[in-house]
Structure 1
């Protein structure tokens, strides 16, 4: 078998415990499984000699656990709080690893902090626990170096990055701390430099990469969020450009086109080469294979001024075609709303740089619209309206308060932070093409176009003619989730409101919807939003929409931000050069000059990463940590709801296993119960 370093276990029958057992090749890892019992698999354990490291601290009790391959009699097991769960290769470096950290504060005035610091080391094999580095006790003037230790049960492998956090709560006055660098000494005696050189405010965290990075492609993919590696490889391709209208950040813009708008003069001759043999634009429209994304809402928005010049923003029209291979492909792009010689229609047959640049400007408009209208307005701000109306009108004992309050968790908090840090004059999102005035105007236009139909997914899909377009995974998953939520809400509402009169006579309920109508939708009767409820069915539909908006709809856009916008050329929110007005004039250098500079791109990328982060106390859809209902019938409805979500999760996982690019954003276990980030 070769040479192996092994630990052993010895049976002490008088004390009814196991001390050590020698295992060839592998050693058993012991983990806390919260009273879960599990038998050891049938591995051959060759030699029984013994010694268990004292740091395992395992107390052994009797509970039937067979160990095939051991010539021992009697039942052997760990206490109910521990179980054998997996086997790992054993070597000295895999056991009880200690990392020494030297944390250096900057030398500038008032760089220190008395706050507690926390660190998480992340390696190729695993990551450390969230570890407290004791209070710094730094003064304000001199450079300080603090030495700390992080101990892990096993080696982390090759260190990739570390997460540094400041305690959000501390009794001392708040002041920023400047971290100069962190040097980590590994169990293998290597010293790894993590240059930081940045200020951290109280409660803020930062991911710090090591100075020399040879495994850059693995880091973000494995340890942060799914990095759009696929996006970075395929963003130029037409099929992926079309794919994003259905399964990307914004699946709410595209609609079936049965007649071209008068300001988009695409001719049969222009697009015939890109259609099926012998077909025509008219024929394909009649078949339902032609689709349009029209960004008229972006026309004339005020933009940022950089170096005395307003940055460009287009209001494009993009024509798409579902080909016989069921791929959605762009076949014509016009970057402005008014056709002219200086606003040509770009085609796939144009030069590579012309066609790519046209697609980049479409993605630019789409990314801005998705961020401000689909994400901020349709999710965050609308969910805030629902939350405030619930808190103001429905007392805690009201059944709808109990039903909805889990879907309002953290919504006010995250929106207050967004106003303070992201949106408005001088805020973070001011780094996009839209300044504060442009953002406000786009939100105003978005609200004026919002309808009850657009908020109710089944009706929205029909209204946009998207019932049969293939490979529309957002639609498939979202409709199933709508139906599951609707069934749950229907059961709950019918239980507490047996008749229409129970609904119409509930003054608190009527006050709730009336306030949403007048304060959320400014009393706009054309929106179709109800200002009162007369029937049980009306209430069921509205509550379904509220829960769906606060969970499913938000997850589809929020969770995908970094994936589709993190690779800046695929989803730029800032472009620096004007769109092309003449064909054949662009080059590769033109595209590079149009993109934001490295500093802006890096900053924007970091924003998408932070906004896509899955926080530690994530609560998935259908989870109700605080029991508010005590009626057995209501509790059973919640269990049925959770079972339906679990079944859908299995189905989505199975489907995704067969896809080149999985669509996981609406897997129920990945959907937050509320707008919480």
Structure 2
């Protein structure tokens, strides 16, 4: 009703006189966006897009058309005229003029309808009405692919998001002016101008596409849910994988639906695309990577690995056992490279992948095919030639002499422990509250799984304290991979992979560094899991066989940590968890909804990378199965963790730190860290607080009360669907926020943004700097600890290097895994970082813009603080023996592998 009243007022004010309204349109044509033509030439086919082939129609926000159900009046079509390519435009963009005929008594346009009668799609960036009579500038940020009109069952509509003030009109009718400005800014569903409300509802219905049953095509804009039923191939017994999601046995978050047909052999399994169709898996087109984005490098890079690198490595394996015989062999990957034979698939590969990409992935240099990898930061020389090596053992002596201090720092106990608080996966260490550690696994199913570590194993290294004294003074910590792995150890060990459930005990030194005390390696009882665990405990040692066994024990811990890191913290904890939020947001929150505007930047490219992952990375016999200790049980394992350990509330950093016992709250709710020099927690809490403050200020603009939130139909539908559909296998959990208060909204949105930005950054962009040198973070263990009296144990005494290298990832597994880590750790050329937006005109609300500006300033201040802390020599965990400054939560970054930078979203 309010919108009709305003429409009547506007109509009486300006009368029915016709005017011409000038506008400018910025778009990019498809040929400009092709990977092989980044420079692009928009002139090609330009004249096809002119004339009547693309039209724009204004839609009134204030005057309804009685002949069209009182929907906003739709103006006559206007066509494009080419203006050129201005210096201010980005590469590939072109600008067009458009002249609208508009009757002033039809009010103020709040939307546009775009019809593409051109032969192919184009990317519509913006439309700007430069000086709308009586109002001024009206700006539409579109950022969407527009396909030929016959591909759609409806008109494409875009809503205005910036409306400038015309002072003359304001002086004439101040009260009317105030109403109109409010109407044309971001608004909740109840405040939608009546003439625009049906368009808003229609657009959401089209995006839901619940009535679309055919296989979805690239021009479809449907956001729907499906289970992970597309990972396996039932026709091949070796590639059968369980459906994840929709069952009590294998619960899982939902992924975006594709509506591909089911397989003939299994009606519950969706058919897969062919290997060479990596780029064609369906996601809504606007979720696909940008035109010059380095994620195009990701897409083509993964395709080059799957279709180029793997055949190459298979060819090498047929010629050589392809094992690392020495640490010099590993260093050769970074310093010299290894020759690559010609594979006929190269020619086919070049037809579907830019040749520069083939060269990049296969390291073609000097006319030769060489697999040569960039040197990871963990083994780069970062100090002067006269620095001290410190304590060493006889293990890897030859390597230490050759590699010098920095290249061997990864293997020190100090660095091993430091990476638990300042490495690529510093999110699991916990305070030990009970000694010996106890298991929470069901004893009826798994027997006695409690630890066999005794005081005798550790008391010699407690700086004179007893175990009880160390416990009571909060000096004992644990990295516990026992319960989370034991249910899968027997299955893993039935394959070529061999693993242990592990517990690592650590002591907090007075200088806030951590000292490893003991490592427990556990296997299921040989008579069955119900009889408990069979465990061995290794105490920290430097020399002789004990030193070599200690190094092996640390390697097993590293393998299990990488397994949790990749499958749980990384894939499940960010990529998979967030996809239902993305789907629900597009299905239920209009683009003019304030929470849509808040969250959408943090969804950029996530559905696309997830779809690509399902096709090539996490699928049966995909790269992840080839390079993770869980092997073919990898995704099934992440489902078990989701079932038993995941809840949304615990993903908030403060709650996580308190739950792990590494932080405590005082009476005012303020956190205090028990490990004072815990870089991840210190920097993370600063980032968390900045996000929380920004979200709180933003939400307060639109929700002045809890009643306003409860009456928001779109928001309530959004939250209900996230819980009841997107995470339906966990919908009955009591920890779900009820979404009845503004506080619940701000905490939930803060958690979503934290997971998509800072948390993903910490566990992703350090992968190559730390894991690019596989001995530091091996991904697979292939042998168990040698037993005394066996030939393997004799070899351990004579050549511990060879036993170590034959235990961890092979050359084949290393090259595949490291090549992937290099791609995943690379920042995009057009990445948008936390505190940034890809358009400055994302909203017209001044309060929101001012709050966002404060957010950006807070992040810059955090950067300065991180630099100061990293330069403080008293904070030893900030650099460690490897002399790697902790920058993984440094908000900004340059392009490439930098080990820093927080992108807005899970975009790679």
TM-score normalised by L of structure 2: 0.50
Q: Are residues 1:251 and 2:465 paired?
A: no
- After superposition, give the CA deviation of every residue in 1:86-123 in whole Å (9 maximum; x if it has no partner): xxxxxxxxxxxxxxxxxxxxxxxxxxxxxxxxxxxxxx
Q: Are residues 1:311 and 2:497 paired?
A: yes
Deviation at 1:491, TM superposition (A): 0.4
Residue of structure 2 aligned with 1:602, choices 806, 809, 815: 815
- After superposition, give the CA deviation of every residue in 1:68-97 in whole Å (9 maximum; x if it has no partner): xxxxxxxxxxxxx9xxxxxxxxxxxxxxxx
Are residues 168 and 258 of structure 1, via their aligned partners in 2, closer, same or farther at CA, if it must alter by over 3 Å?
closer
Deviation at 1:267, TM superposition (A): 2.0
Q: Counterpart of 2:723 in 1: which secondary structure? A: helix
Indicate if the aligned counterparts of 1:423 and 1:430 stay in contact, CA closer than 8 A.
Answer: yes
- After superposition, give the CA deviation of every residue in 1:196-255 in whole Å (9 maximum; x if it has no partner): 755454254542264699xx99x835xxx7464377422221111111111122222211
Q: Identify the residue that residue 831 of structure 2 maps to in structure 1.
A: 618
Aligned positions of 1:534-573 closer than 5 A: 534-573=740-779
Residue of structure 2 aligned with 1:458, choices 646, 654, 660: 654
Q: Identify the residue that residue 3 of structure 1 maps to in structure 2.
A: none
Moved more, 357-366 or 294-303: 294-303
Tell me, in whole angstroms, the C-alpha distance in 1 between the residues paired with 2:562 and 2:578. 21
Q: Identify the residue that residue 578 of structure 1 maps to in structure 2.
A: 784
Tell me, in whole angstroms, the C-alpha distance in 1 between the residues paired with 2:453 and 2:905. 43
Q: Are residues 1:635 and 2:849 paired?
A: yes
Tell me, in whole angstroms, the C-alpha distance in 1 between the residues paired with 2:426 and 2:678. 9
Q: Are residues 1:425 and 2:620 paired?
A: yes
Indicate if the aligned counterparts of 1:447 and 1:521 stay in contact, CA closer than 8 A.
Answer: no
Q: Counterpart of 1:300 in 2: which secondary structure? A: helix
Q: Identify the residue that residue 371 of structure 1 maps to in structure 2.
A: 566
Q: Identify the residue that residue 592 of structure 1 maps to in structure 2.
A: 805
Are residues 338 and 603 of structure 1, via their aligned partners in 2, closer, same or farther at CA, if it must alter by over 3 Å?
closer
Q: Identify the residue that residue 668 of structure 1 maps to in structure 2.
A: 891
Are residues 205 and 555 of structure 1, via their aligned partners in 2, closer, same or farther at CA, if it must alter by over 3 Å?
farther
Q: Identify the residue that residue 739 of structure 2 maps to in structure 1.
A: 533
Tell me, in whole angstroms, the C-alpha distance in 1 between the residues paired with 2:379 and 2:694. 35
Q: Counterpart of 1:673 in 2: which secondary structure? A: coil
Are residues 193 and 464 of structure 1, via their aligned partners in 2, closer, same or farther at CA, if it must alter by over 3 Å?
closer
Aligned positions of 1:201-240 closer than 5 A: 201-202=352-353, 204-207=357-360, 208=363, 210=365, 220=374, 226=377, 228-229=379-380, 232-240=407-415
- After superposition, give the CA deviation of every residue in 1:596-623 in whole Å (9 maximum; x if it has no partner): 2222212211111111111211111111
Tell me, in whole angstroms, the C-alpha distance in 2 between the residues paired with 1:445 and 1:565. 23
Are residues 344 and 508 of structure 1, via their aligned partners in 2, closer, same or farther at CA, if it must alter by over 3 Å?
same
Q: Counterpart of 2:516 in 1: which secondary structure? A: strand
For the aligned residues, what is the CA RMSD? 3.4
Residue of structure 1 aligned with 2:451, choices 259, 264, 274: 264
Indicate if the aligned counterparts of 1:452 and 1:528 stay in contact, CA closer than 8 A.
Answer: no
Tell me, in whole angstroms, the C-alpha distance in 2 between the residues paired with 1:362 and 1:195. 33
Are residues 380 and 480 of structure 1, via their aligned partners in 2, closer, same or farther at CA, if it must alter by over 3 Å?
same
Tell me, in whole angstroms, the C-alpha distance in 1 between the residues paired with 2:653 and 2:410. 28
Tell me, in whole angstroms, the C-alpha distance in 1 between the residues paired with 2:833 and 2:650. 25
Deviation at 1:447, TM superposition (A): 4.3
Deviation at 1:327, TM superposition (A): 1.7
Tell me, in whole angstroms, the C-alpha distance in 2 between the residues paired with 1:465 and 1:512. 33
Q: Identify the residue that residue 437 of structure 1 maps to in structure 2.
A: 633
Are residues 633 and 482 of structure 1, via their aligned partners in 2, closer, same or farther at CA, if it must alter by over 3 Å?
same
Paired positions, count: 491
Tell me, in whole angstroms, the C-alpha distance in 2 between the residues paired with 1:634 and 1:580. 62
Tell me, in whole angstroms, the C-alpha distance in 2 between the residues paired with 1:569 and 1:177. 25
Indicate if the aligned counterparts of 1:312 and 1:577 stay in contact, CA closer than 8 A.
Answer: yes
Tell me, in whole angstroms, the C-alpha distance in 1 between the residues paired with 2:338 and 2:556. 37
Tell me, in whole angstroms, the C-alpha distance in 2 between the residues paired with 1:246 and 1:471. 8
Are residues 447 and 614 of structure 1, via their aligned partners in 2, closer, same or farther at CA, if it must alter by over 3 Å?
farther
Q: Identify the residue that residue 87 of structure 1 maps to in structure 2.
A: none
Q: Are residues 1:401 and 2:633 paired?
A: no
Indicate if the aligned counterparts of 2:605 and 2:907 stay in contact, CA closer than 8 A.
Answer: yes
Moved more, 449-458 or 536-545: 449-458
TM-score normalised by L of structure 1: 0.67
Deviation at 1:454, TM superposition (A): 2.1
Q: Counterpart of 2:722 in 1: which secondary structure? A: helix
Residue of structure 2 aligned with 1:344, choices 496, 520, 536: 536
Q: Identify the residue that residue 356 of structure 1 maps to in structure 2.
A: 551
Q: Identify the residue that residue 118 of structure 1 maps to in structure 2.
A: none
- After superposition, give the CA deviation of every residue in 1:297-350 in whole Å (9 maximum; x if it has no partner): 1113278989x9531121111111112232211101111166999622100137
Tell me, in whole angstroms, the C-alpha distance in 2 between the residues paired with 1:232 and 1:604. 20
Residue of structure 1 aligned with 2:681, choices 459, 463, 475: 475
Indicate if the aligned counterparts of 1:344 and 1:582 stay in contact, CA closer than 8 A.
Answer: no
Are residues 240 and 167 of structure 1, via their aligned partners in 2, closer, same or farther at CA, if it must alter by over 3 Å?
closer
Aligned positions of 1:18-167 closer than 5 A: none
Q: Are residues 1:652 and 2:869 paired?
A: no
Tell me, in whole angstroms, the C-alpha distance in 2 between the residues paired with 1:326 and 1:671. 26
Are residues 338 and 271 of structure 1, via their aligned partners in 2, closer, same or farther at CA, if it must alter by over 3 Å?
farther
Q: Counterpart of 1:385 in 2: which secondary structure? A: helix
Indicate if the aligned counterparts of 1:342 and 1:581 stay in contact, CA closer than 8 A.
Answer: no
Are residues 376 and 655 of structure 1, via their aligned partners in 2, closer, same or farther at CA, if it must alter by over 3 Å?
same
Moved more, 597-606 or 395-404: 597-606
Q: Identify the residue that residue 695 of structure 2 maps to in structure 1.
A: 489
Q: Identify the residue that residue 471 of structure 2 maps to in structure 1.
A: 285
Q: Counterpart of 1:235 in 2: which secondary structure? A: helix
Indicate if the aligned counterparts of 2:497 and 2:783 stay in contact, CA closer than 8 A.
Answer: yes
Q: Counterpart of 1:668 in 2: which secondary structure? A: coil
Are residues 375 and 582 of structure 1, via their aligned partners in 2, closer, same or farther at CA, if it must alter by over 3 Å?
farther
Gaps of 5+ in 1: 1-80, 82-162, 170-175, 181-191
Tell me, in whole angstroms, the C-alpha distance in 2 between the residues paired with 1:492 and 1:551. 18
Tell me, in whole angstroms, the C-alpha distance in 2 between the residues paired with 1:482 and 1:517. 24
Are residues 601 and 536 of structure 1, via their aligned partners in 2, closer, same or farther at CA, if it must alter by over 3 Å?
same
Q: Counterpart of 1:351 in 2: which secondary structure? A: helix
Deviation at 1:369, TM superposition (A): 0.5
Q: Identify the residue that residue 330 of structure 1 maps to in structure 2.
A: 516
- After superposition, give the CA deviation of every residue in 1:34-56 in whole Å (9 maximum; x if it has no partner): xxxxxxxxxxxxxxxxxxxxxxx
Deviation at 1:582, TM superposition (A): 5.7
Q: Identify the residue that residue 461 of structure 2 maps to in structure 1.
A: 274
Are residues 520 and 512 of structure 1, via their aligned partners in 2, closer, same or farther at CA, if it must alter by over 3 Å?
same
- After superposition, give the CA deviation of every residue in 1:265-298 in whole Å (9 maximum; x if it has no partner): 322222111110x311111111001011211211
Q: Identify the residue that residue 150 of structure 1 maps to in structure 2.
A: none
Deviation at 1:166, TM superposition (A): 9.3
- After superposition, give the CA deviation of every residue in 1:157-192 in whole Å (9 maximum; x if it has no partner): xxxxxx9x99999xxxxxx89999xxxxxxxxxxx9
Q: Identify the residue that residue 114 of structure 1 maps to in structure 2.
A: none
Higher helix share: 2
Tell me, in whole angstroms, the C-alpha distance in 2 between the residues paired with 1:298 and 1:373. 12
Q: Identify the residue that residue 517 of structure 1 maps to in structure 2.
A: 723
Q: Counterpart of 2:507 in 1: which secondary structure? A: strand
Are residues 228 and 390 of structure 1, via their aligned partners in 2, closer, same or farther at CA, if it must alter by over 3 Å?
farther
Q: Counterpart of 2:619 in 1: which secondary structure? A: coil
